[in-house]
Chain A
Amino acid sequence: MAFERLVGSALCGLAKFITGARAVWHGCAPEARQRVYFANHRSHADFVLIWASLPPRLRRRTRPVAGADYWLTGRLRSYMAQQVFRGVLIDRTAARDDVDPIGMMSAALAGGDSLILFPEGTRNLGDGLLPFKSGLYHLACANPGVELVPVWIENLGRVMPKGSFIPVPVLCSLTFGHPITVRPDEAKNDFLQRARSDLLALAPAED
């Protein structure tokens, strides 16, 4: 356990050093509350950046939700995903009835941990934000006491804009927004729209 923690801290240090990831706590503070951090997804390192931006005591109680079909291939990768990051690993390729993602995530929340979730469901290789999958809504309904915190990860667009081949070493930043919860009687699509526009509002103006 102690060794995994050391590996985790070393990885966070490395990720911060390379990307210079800077956390901006815009709408909430890094408090020890149970939360679901939901973020835009551009690269496999995204959750490491969120994880690294949290103070160590929160980091230990925060688990990323990731695709088992990616993270459980290869021994090193599955060691990292299971032992170091303590990921909640969901098989996206399995048939609907075989896995219960909401159940798995709720179980993690019931254990007192917070989660990191990418509601676009997959990496977005273009600009902006894809439509959200409904998982965020169902998770929020099943766990009404948990805050949902939007996190905008800003980086890739400027490091290497489309059509260029040389990266500029700009630093990444993560903006944490105001926590939200599902309103009484809020329809699924309304909630997903609201969550998505709250996340988009954290993105720096396109100018």
Chain B
Amino acid sequence: MNVSATLFNLFAGIFAVLALASAVGALLKRRAAPDAPSAAIDNLNARLKAWWVMIALIALAIWAGDWGVILLFGFISFQSLREFVSLTHTRRGDHRALIWSFYVFLPLQYILIATHWYGLFTILIPVYAFLLLPISASLGSDTTRFLERAAKVQWGLMICVYCISHVPALLTLDIEGHAGANALLIVFLVLTVQSSDVFQYVWGKLLGRHKLAPVISPSKTLEGLVGGVASATLVGAALWWITPFTPLQAGLIALVINTMGFFGGFVLSAIKRDRNVKDWGNMIEGHGGMLDRVDSISFSAPIFFHIVRYWWG
């Protein structure tokens, strides 16, 4: 398989779908009375515009090579951690732990991935950060809600750095008969999980009747969940040819990561509700913050990584 030709065709296909969607969006906007703006259509068009940028960035990163992908996901981690820390209360005594998180553990995690040091990047945050950050926080001599604060910093690092970093970590796997094609695993993961988000949104808007858990997320419906995960599982199965999997295996793996992705969004919604906000930030027009866009990736990437590593690596 010629990897660059495959990548080229894949992205050409994705951009074609986007162009079609944008044309439909523009048509909807024209058909709806031009002087009475519809929030739903404007939001749809804003989301589509953001997709152009996001997919172009991923294409560019993959084209640049391994370091491009690592830099891109390093930046995604950085922005997500910013959003996470900004919405969770920390105290002055946590300042040092936060400095360690942003300027030491985050870059180090990605450097370890760049150097393919599997033994250390899988334990850096769950073991070393887990033990060292509370030590640093305790030196701040502030015991108020100590356990809660230590847990928040650790959680932020796990979700935003450790989990997300498992996307570029796919580049470190040695898969027989798939050499040089690991970037395609990243495309498989991101495309499948993100399409699940899109299909959940579409099915929810078209057929959504039964709210799944209005307390946690008013927009999530049963119809959206089932339709979205099922559609995206078909997308995953249809992408089997870019992976080392058979169509059935690709479909099963897609089902697992789509389900994990759904619950990623669900869990992070629970945190947002508790903090009384709708979005993690406003970086991506129409979508909210970075963390709103990658919550599903965060929960599915480590599982995907270990499934591939265990059975194919």
CA distance A23 to B279 in the complex (A): 11
Which residues from B are CB-within-8-Å of A68? none
B83 within 8 A of partner (CB): yes
A112 within 8 A of partner (CB): no
A20 within 8 A of partner (CB): yes
**Nearest opposing residue in chain B for A155, CB measure:** B86
Known A20-B82, A161-B92: A171·B145 in contact at CB below 8 Å: no
Cβ A168 vs Cβ B98 within 8 A: yes
Known A161-B92, A207-B145: A22·B99 in contact at CB below 8 Å: no
CA distance A122 to B135 in the complex (A): 40
Report the minimum CB–CB distance from B148 to chain A (whole Å). Answer: 10
Provide 12 A-B residue pairs closer than 8 Å at the C-beta atoms, listed in order of the A residue.
A20-B82, A20-B83, A21-B282, A22-B279, A22-B282, A23-B282, A24-B277, A169-B78, A170-B85, A204-B89, A205-B89, A207-B145
The 8 Å CB contact of B281, one of A22, A162, A168, A205, is A22
| Apart from A16-B282, A170-B98, A204-B89: 5 A-B pairs, beta carbons within 8 A | A20-B83, A22-B279, A22-B281, A164-B95, A170-B82
Which residues from A are CB-within-8-Å of B96? 164
Q: Which of B86, B91, B281, B283: most chain A CB closer than 10 A?
A: B86
Cβ B144 vs Cβ A207 within 8 A: yes
CA distance A16 to B285 in the complex (A): 12
The 8 Å CB contact of A20, one of B86, B90, B98, B102, is B86
Cβ A207 vs Cβ B99 within 8 A: no
A133 within 8 A of partner (CB): no
- CB proximity to B under 8 Å, residues A11-29: 16-17, 20-24
Residues 87-110 of B, flagged 1 when their CB comes within 8 A of A and 0 if not, give 001111001101100110000000
CA distance A110 to B192 in the complex (A): 56
The 8 Å CB contact of B82, one of A161, A169, A205, is A169
CA distance A161 to B98 in the complex (A): 12
CA distance A205 to B102 in the complex (A): 24
Cβ A171 vs Cβ B95 within 8 A: no
A94 within 8 A of partner (CB): no
A173 within 8 A of partner (CB): yes
CA distance A169 to B78 in the complex (A): 9
CA distance A207 to B89 in the complex (A): 8
A33 within 8 A of partner (CB): no
Report the minimum CB–CB distance from B6 to chain A (whole Å). Answer: 34
Size bracket of the B interface? 20 to 34
**Nearest opposing residue in chain B for A162, CB measure:** B92
CA distance A138 to B115 in the complex (A): 65
**Nearest opposing residue in chain A for B81, CB measure:** A169
**Nearest opposing residue in chain A for B96, CB measure:** A164
CA distance A205 to B89 in the complex (A): 9
Cβ B99 vs Cβ A171 within 8 A: no
- CB proximity to B under 8 Å, residues A153-173: 158, 161-162, 164, 166, 168-171, 173
Report the minimum CB–CB distance from B50 to chain A (whole Å). Answer: 14
Report the minimum CB–CB distance from A147 to chain B (whole Å). Answer: 23
Report the minimum CB–CB distance from B157 to chain A (whole Å). Answer: 13
**Nearest opposing residue in chain B for A158, CB measure:** B90
Cβ A168 vs Cβ B145 within 8 A: no
Which residues from A are CB-within-8-Å of B282? 16, 20-23
The 8 Å CB contact of B283, one of A20, A24, A169, is A20
CA distance A173 to B96 in the complex (A): 22
Q: Which of B85, B91, B279, B282: most chain A CB closer than 10 A?
A: B282
Report the minimum CB–CB distance from A54 to chain B (whole Å). Answer: 13
Known A22-B281, A22-B282: A207·B91 in contact at CB below 8 Å: yes
- CB proximity to A under 8 Å, residues B274-305: 277, 279, 281-283, 289
Report the minimum CB–CB distance from B7 to chain A (whole Å). Answer: 30
Which residues from A are CB-within-8-Å of B95? 161, 164, 168
CA distance A171 to B279 in the complex (A): 13
Known A20-B282, A24-B277, A171-B82: A166·B99 in contact at CB below 8 Å: yes
Cβ A171 vs Cβ B144 within 8 A: no
Report the minimum CB–CB distance from A53 to chain B (whole Å). Answer: 9
CA distance A204 to B86 in the complex (A): 12
Report the minimum CB–CB distance from A55 to chain B (whole Å). Answer: 12
Report the minimum CB–CB distance from A12 to chain B (whole Å). Answer: 12
Report the minimum CB–CB distance from B133 to chain A (whole Å). Answer: 14
Report the minimum CB–CB distance from B49 to chain A (whole Å). Answer: 14
Cβ B277 vs Cβ A170 within 8 A: no
CA distance A74 to B269 in the complex (A): 48
Which residues from B are CB-within-8-Å of A162? 92
Report the minimum CB–CB distance from B146 to chain A (whole Å). Answer: 12
CA distance A158 to B97 in the complex (A): 13
Cβ A171 vs Cβ B89 within 8 A: no
Report the minimum CB–CB distance from A24 to chain B (whole Å). Answer: 7
**Nearest opposing residue in chain B for A20, CB measure:** B281
